[in-house]
Structure 1
Amino acid sequence: MPADDRDQPKQPITSVWTRPRRGRREQPSLSREQIVSAALELLDAEGVGALSMRKLGTRLNAGATSMYTHVANKDELIELVVDAVYGEVEVPAPDGRDGWRDTTERCAHSLRATVLRHPWMASVAGELGVTQLGPNVMRLSEGMLALFEAAGLPTGEADLAVSTLTSYVMGITTAEAAWLTTLARHGQSEREWMESLWPAAEEAADGHPQLQVHYASLRHKDPRETREEKFDYGLRMVLDGLEARLTGTGDTGTG
């Protein structure tokens, strides 16, 4: 790296969480909470593509000045809304070595359900600013660390366990949310979509006997139940691996 580049002052990270709230002499006509609530309603109803500061201002019957008192731009607004959504996730209190698995399952299912209630999250999670600094994300991270530490993992490994679990939950749930968003855009239910897809899928599976058997087993199942079964199976595999580590029957290679 050239010396002149190294001497340049580093640019501060741009995030709603890394700057103080803007102050005003007079009481603003809108609170941050009102703005976030209205943005969440708009996102849930119409998706990320429909969100703009102008449209939100119209929805709130407020001018730009009132809104920009709290958020500098659309990215900061979404950071706030994403954190508000994470506030819906249940983080059970640690239940020691005996109850860690049940409490962790509850937390994982709550995280999945939260994202599926707000499927637009699939297109923004992890892409905007420093979302991990939001107070609700901090609460979630702290609570999950406590669950795994109470189960018997040391602090460093508990962090790895949290990362493994959340990566699984967010990975599979993001795909589910994207799928549900596509269905909503076409105005169809899962069952309607699958019924229209089956003839083409079965024709494509001709000559692939394993796929034919698999498709036949799914043909009359509720697609929602199929998604839940897949999620539960993967979650069990993740927790089985962690349980093996805790009982000393598995080796994670962490020393």
Structure 2
Amino acid sequence: MARASVWLEGKARKGGRGGQPSGLDRDRITSVTVRLLDADGLDKFSMRRLAAELNVTAMSVYWYVDTKDDLLELALDAAFGELRLPDTEDGDGDWRDQLRALATEYRALLVRHPWLSPLAGRYLNIGPHSLAFSRVVQQVVRRAGLPAHGVTGAISAVFQFVYGYGTVESHFAARVAAAGMTADEYFNSAMDAVTEVPATARIIEESRDLMAARGGDTVAEMLDRDFTFALDLLIAGIEAKVQRPERGAGNCATSHDAPAPADEDAPPSS
């Protein structure tokens, strides 16, 4: 059996049962849950901790949600509601720009809420905000001109990359915070440490030219440059598939899907 979902069992719209405690509602409970997950992390979150933050008993929360899983699934979809989605109904706008915007939004969401990536892998992601995001992504990628059988593969290539990149970036941010340093201090400290060990120092020396060519004076700039370049590679791959479809698949290229001019200032990838 697939894991039960709050969205499939009719519990997501439940506003509380008769006799529920006053001063509470599901939106407030979900909002505080998101705030606690941001502050304490997924491992430390508990219904008891939530109740204390709401200044109610733990049992009071259960007037509004049946289980902790239900609440986490509601929090997951609430986070997806933060994504700024382009208007795709009229079909205007360059699909490349819109895809870059969606990927950048999703990356930022994963970094902003480190608990989101494990929950996204645990639940079905069928809440209204998650579905709205998926729908817009599909509409944008459809306009690239790929054959129908290639659309989901293109979506997977882009957004599984973003999921992985954002997840690793959020882990790095957590290590930085735990060390009580800035990202740049942590990076420089780590680089100093690894260059003192012969085995790792040799590898670092071999990649020194790549690190220099990568560009960026700060960790944030380096992360942004790598993300942008990798995303450009994926979009270029979609364009290449449109212009040179598989043999027998028919010519799916269209005049408005010609590859964009190369950006002479694009940084090399490490």
> Which TM-score band applies after superposition, normalised by the shorter structure?
0.7 to 0.9
**Alpha-carbon separation, structure 1, partners of 2:248 and 2:128:** 33
Are residues 1:66 and 2:60 paired? yes
Q: Residues 120, 181 of structure 1: CA spacing in aligned structure 2 closer, same or farther, 3 A cutoff?
A: farther
Q: TM-score, normalised by structure 1?
A: 0.84
**Alpha-carbon separation, structure 1, partners of 2:92 and 2:249:** 20
Q: What amino acid maps onto 1:158 in structure 2?
A: V
Between Structure 1 and Structure 2, the one with more helix by share is 1
Are residues 1:190 and 2:162 paired? no
The question of whether the paired residues in 1 share the 8 Å contact of 2:144 and 2:239 is answered with no
The question of whether the paired residues in 1 share the 8 Å contact of 2:216 and 2:225 is answered with no
1:14 corresponds in structure 2 to 4
The question of whether the paired residues in 2 share the 8 Å contact of 1:165 and 1:238 is answered with yes
Q: Unpaired segments of 5 or more residues in structure 1?
A: 1-10
Q: TM-score, normalised by structure 2?
A: 0.79
**Alpha-carbon separation, structure 1, partners of 2:120 and 2:180:** 24
Q: Residues 121, 97 of structure 1: CA spacing in aligned structure 2 closer, same or farther, 3 A cutoff?
A: same
Out of 123, 129, 152, the position equivalent to 1:136 is 129
Q: How far off is 1:32 after superposition?
A: 1.1
The question of whether the paired residues in 2 share the 8 Å contact of 1:122 and 1:175 is answered with no
2:42 corresponds in structure 1 to 48
Q: What amino acid maps onto 2:209 in structure 1?
A: V
Q: How far off is 1:154 after superposition?
A: 4.6
**Alpha-carbon separation, structure 2, partners of 1:219 and 1:164:** 25
Aligned length: 242
Listed as ranges, the matches of 1:1-255 within 5 Å are 11=1, 13-21=3-11, 22=14, 24-26=17-19, 28-29=21-22, 30-94=24-88, 96=91, 99-127=94-122, 129-130=123-124, 132-204=125-197, 205-208=200-203, 209-215=205-211, 221-246=217-242, 248-249=243-244, 251=246
Q: How far off is 1:134 after superposition?
A: 1.0
**Alpha-carbon separation, structure 2, partners of 1:41 and 1:254:** 49
**Alpha-carbon separation, structure 2, partners of 1:252 and 1:75:** 47
**Alpha-carbon separation, structure 1, partners of 2:32 and 2:47:** 11
The question of whether the paired residues in 2 share the 8 Å contact of 1:91 and 1:140 is answered with yes
SS of alignment partner, residue 244 of structure 2: coil
SS of alignment partner, residue 86 of structure 2: coil
The CA deviation string for residues 78-110 of structure 1, in whole angstroms up to 9 with x for no partner, is 111111111111221237587110111111111
**Alpha-carbon separation, structure 2, partners of 1:220 and 1:156:** 39
The question of whether the paired residues in 2 share the 8 Å contact of 1:241 and 1:250 is answered with no
